[in-house]
Amino acid sequence: MVHPLDKSTLTMPLPPVVTELGELFSEAGYELSLVGGPVRDLFLGRSSPDLDFTTNANPDQTLAVIRGWADAYWEIGRAFGTIGLRRGSHQIEITTYRADAYDPGSRNPSVAFGSNLEEDLLRRDFTVNAMALTLPAMELVDPFGGVKDLHAGVLRTPGAPSSSFSDDPLRMMRAARFASQLGVSVAPEVAEAMSAMAERIGIISAERIRDELVKLVNGRAPGRGIDLLVETGLADHVLPEVSALRLEIDEHHRHKDVYRHSLTVLEQACASETDADGPVPGPDFVLRFAALLHDIGKPATRKFGPGNAVSFRHHDAVGAKLAARRMRALRFDNDTIKAVSRLVELHMRFYGYGEAGWTDSAVRRYVTDAGPLLERLHRLVRSDVTTRNRRQVERLAFAYDDLEARISALAEQEELAMIRPDLDGAQIMALLGITPGPVVGRAYRYLLEERMEHGPLDPATAEARLRSWWFHQPESKEIL
C-alpha cells in the first residue's frame, strides 16, 4: 500500500535533515526511505533520537553520497550494509535493502541484500515498524497495515509469527518491550507463537536480553510487558524468579497473590518517581527492578504454621542474593547489581517501626545502610503497601511519615548522609601510639558504632571512650 502522506495526521514535524538527505540520494539516482521506528513515532507524536533509512544503494554508493554532507561517518556496520553518520544533532543510519537469512542455530543473521523496499519491510519485526516514508516524494509505504494496527493498539508480525521469531528469537522480547513502551497488546497468533517458541530465546546472548529487559522495565506500562513474558513462558527462561512468584493460593487464602502484588508494587513505584529536578527522576530502572524483584525470596522461604498461618522469614535476605545472581547472569554492571540487591535486602527493615518505635541509633543505621539509595528506599517501602485495608494503609503511611520526619530532623543536626567516627585514622594512631594496621580499623569501627548509638561526641568524650576500648584490647598490653 503506497499513498501520499497526510501530514495533517502527524503531530510531530519531520526534521529538515530528512528531506535534505532524500534529495541527495534522489539526485544521485538512488532510492531512500525513512523506515521503522521513526515512521511509527510520527503517528504517535513522538520524536525519535535516531533516524533510520533504507536504500537500494550499496555501502560504497552510500558513502559516495554522504561524504562532504555528513559531519562525521563510520563504517562499523558495513558488513551488514549499514553506514552510520552524524549531521548536526542527528544520529543517522542508512542500510542497504535487506532480505536476511538466518541460521536456526545462530544468534546472528547472515546478510543477504534485497532488491526492493517491500522485501526489506517484510523482514522487519512488527507491522508497526514495517512502514516507510519514501523521500523526497513523502509517500507512505505500508504494505502490512502498520498504521491500522497502531491505531488498534495491537502488535502483529508482517509474515507468520513463527517464521519471524525463528529468524530472530529476540523479537519475542521486543514484543514484550513494545507492550510496555507503547501500551499495546499482542495479537493472539503472536502470543501463541511466543509460547510455543519460548525456549528458543536460549540462543540469544545475555547482553541482548538484558538490553531489551531494561527498555521494557523503563517503559510506560512495564507490568504489561512483564505479564506477557510470564504468560507466554518467556520469563521461565529470562526471569524465572518472577515466574516463581505465582505461588498457589489455597482455599483459605493464607497469603495474597505474590506475583500480582509485585506487579502492583512496580506500578506504584513508577508513580512515585519524580521529574528531572527531583530526587528520583523517572524512569528509574534501579527502583523499578527492585520493586519487581523485592519478594522473589518468598517461594524459597514459605513456611506453614499452626492456625493456617504462613510466613516468609528472611525472604528479604534470600531475595537479595537471588536478585544479584539473576542480574549477574544477565550481565548487568556491578553498580546496578549492588543497588537493586541492596534495596531488596532493605525493603523489610522499616516494618516494626510503627509498633515499637526506633531509637535515634536505629534511624541513623537505616540512613547509613541505605546510603545513596535512601530516596529510592523511601519509595520502595511506600509502594510495598498494597493492602485494601484502609486503616492499615493509613497506619503504615503515618509511621513512615514519622520516620522520614525524624530522618530530616537528625539530618539537620548530624549530616546523616556523611556519618563518620568522631576521630579519624590519624587521630586514632596518634592517641594510641600505634602504626597503620588492622587495629586502626577495629578502633575506627568501634568509634563508628559509638557514633551510631549516641550521636556526635565531643573530642574529649570520644578520646575517653577510645582509651577505655583500647585498655581491653590484647595489643595494648604488648605495647606496655
Report pLDDT digits (tens) over 178-191: 999 999 999 999 99
Span of 105-114, 150-159, 359-368, 446-455 with lowest mean pLDDT: 105-114
pLDDT at 187: 97
Q: What average pLDDT does this structure show over 97-108?
A: 64
Which sign does the torsion angle of CA 146, 150, 152, 154 carry?
positive
Q: How confident is the model at residue 423 (pLDDT cuts 50, 70, 90)?
A: confident
DSSP element (H, E) containing 95: strand 90-96
CA distances in angstroms from 104 to 67, 381, 454, listed in the order given: 38, 45, 65
Count the residues in the chain: 480
How many Å apart are CA 1 and CA 149, to the nearest integer?
14
For 136, 406, 452, the CA distances from 409, given in Å and listed in that order, are: 63, 5, 15
Q: Give the rounded percent of residues in the chain with a pLDDT score beyond 70.
A: 89
> Residue 397 and residue 383: Cα distance in Å, rounded?
10
Show Cβ contacts of residue 477 under 8 Å, excluding neighbours closer than 6 positions: none
Among 91-105, 217-231, 271-285, where is mean pLDDT lowest? 91-105
- C-alpha of 84 from chain center: 27
Query: Does the pLDDT of residue 390 top 70, yes or no?
Result: yes
CA dist., res. 447 & res. 223, Å (int):
46
pLDDT at 67: 94
Q: Mean per-residue pLDDT for 313-325?
A: 95
Element at 155 (helix H, strand E): strand 154-155
- C-alpha grid cell, residue 29: 539516482
List all residues 6 or more positions away from 145 whose beta carbon is below 8 Å from its beta carbon.
1, 127, 156
Torsion of CA 261, 265, 271, 272, to 10 degrees: 150
Distance CA 267, CA 226 (A): 11
Taking all residues of the chain, what is their mean pLDDT, rounded to a whole number? 87
> In degrees rounded to 5, what are phi and psi of residue 85?
-155, 165
Is the confidence at residue 369, as pLDDT, over 90?
no
Residue 29 φ/ψ, nearest 5 degrees: 90, 20
- How far is CA 305 from its chain centroid? 37
What cell was used for 355? 509498633
- In this prediction, residue 253 carries a pLDDT of 47
Specify the pLDDT at position 413. 66
